[in-house]
Amino acid sequence: MRKAALTFRAFNVETAKAMDVVSDPKTGLMRLLWWKDVIDKVFANKLVEHPVAQALSSVVSENKVSKHWLKRSVEARINDANRDEGAIPETSAELERYAEDTQSTILYTTLQAGGIQSTVADHAASHIGKASGLLLLLKAASPSNIAEECGLLTQEGGRSEFRMDERLPDAVFKVASVAEAHLHKARELASSVPREAIPVLLPALPAQVLLDSLRRCEFNVFDSRVSRGVHGVSPLWYQLKLNWYSWRNKY
């Protein structure tokens, strides 16, 4: 399961950075479409000359993994890449859906690779993925309805534009509160989650660490303390905390 987890995360990194490593958005979109095609080839047992694709092929051949979740992950990024340049996600519900499609799906496939069939574990993974995705997206986007409510969205030339001011932390707080609610719901399910699924759900911890760091910085995502170490804490403290949770079979 560890091999599968590392492979799915490597795949997630490849698709997540597709738009960031190119100067032309069209080139980034082509990379994403290529990865979508790679998934079809992997499940058709066709060779693809790429290290992550080859690792993915090995995991798929050794485990029962659904192609649906991998395709859904890439398609979410393709849809996001097709969004009009400069456009802002309209609602927090859209951000939640994007977070689930790109983060929860990785947890779903890891559970599948571990042969863990548990509706409760899937529900917990859904909540943890949404929380993780929302918190990671906070530095890059904020739902326009929340931004407008906080006075951060202005209409100019027929387009919505985001502007910075002291009310930004209010918008960040609203999105972070949704993420915190998802973490809470995931942990409410802990007593019913199979023991073997706990390691897969450990991403709840880095999400909590980032949430706590944002709270300490009064939800100012541009505070330098948020980017220090690992989500605002020292790498040693983060590792100790991660090991502590793992040892106690908690997430």
For 49-95, write each residue's pLDDT tens digit. Answer: 999 999 999 999 999 999 999 999 999 999 988 876 545 555 778 88
Picking from 139, 192, 145, 197, the residue whose alpha carbon sits closest to that of residue 169 is: 139
Which residues, other chains included, contact 82 with Cβ-Cβ below 8 Å and sequence gap of 6+?
A: 29
Q: How far apart are CA 108 and CA 204, in angstroms?
A: 14
* Structural domain range at position 142: 91-251
**Are both 115 and 219 inside the same structural domain?**
yes
Which residues, other chains included, contact 55 with Cβ-Cβ below 8 Å and sequence gap of 6+?
A: 6, 7, 10
**Are both 213 and 102 inside the same structural domain?**
yes
Q: Into how many domains does the chain fold?
A: 2
Q: How far apart are CA 167 and CA 214, in angstroms?
A: 15
**Are both 78 and 105 inside the same structural domain?**
no
Given this model, what pLDDT does residue 142 score?
44
Task: Choose the weakest-confidence range: 22-36, 163-177, 212-226.
Answer: 163-177
Picking from 21, 155, 170, the residue whose alpha carbon sits closest to that of residue 88 is: 155
Domain stop point among 64, 82, 100: 82
Main-chain dihedrals φ then ψ at residue 224, nearest 5 degrees: -60, -25
Helix (H) or strand (E) holding 66: none
Domain stop point among 82, 113, 130: 82
Q: Quote the tokens at residue 246.
A: 């793992």
Given this model, what pLDDT does residue 109 score?
96
**Are both 145 and 56 inside the same structural domain?**
no
**Are both 213 and 105 inside the same structural domain?**
yes
**Are both 62 and 105 inside the same structural domain?**
no
- Categorise residue 162: left if φ over 0, alpha if ψ from -120 to 50, beta otherwise: beta
pLDDT (mean) for 39-48 = 95
Q: Contact at 8 Å (CB) between 182 and 225?
A: no
Picking from 213, 194, 174, the residue whose alpha carbon sits closest to that of residue 251 is: 194
Torsion of the alpha carbons at 83, 84, 86 and 88, rounded to the nearest 10: -50
Q: At what angle do helices 67-81 and 2-16 cross, to 10 degrees?
A: 20
- Categorise residue 143: left if φ over 0, alpha if ψ from -120 to 50, beta otherwise: beta
The 10s digit of each residue's pLDDT in 155-208 is 555 555 555 566 778 888 999 999 999 999 999 999 999 999 999 999 999 999
**Are both 133 and 213 inside the same structural domain?**
yes
Helix (H) or strand (E) holding 205: helix 204-216
Domain of residue 156, CATH code: 1.10.600.10
Q: How far apart are CA 199 and CA 197, in angstroms?
A: 6
Q: Quote the tokens at residue 199.
A: 């390691």
Task: Choose the weakest-confidence range: 117-131, 153-167, 205-219.
Answer: 153-167
**Are both 68 and 134 inside the same structural domain?**
no
Q: How far apart are CA 90 and CA 143, in angstroms?
A: 5
**Are both 102 and 207 inside the same structural domain?**
yes
**Are both 78 and 22 inside the same structural domain?**
yes
Average pLDDT over all residues of the chain: 88
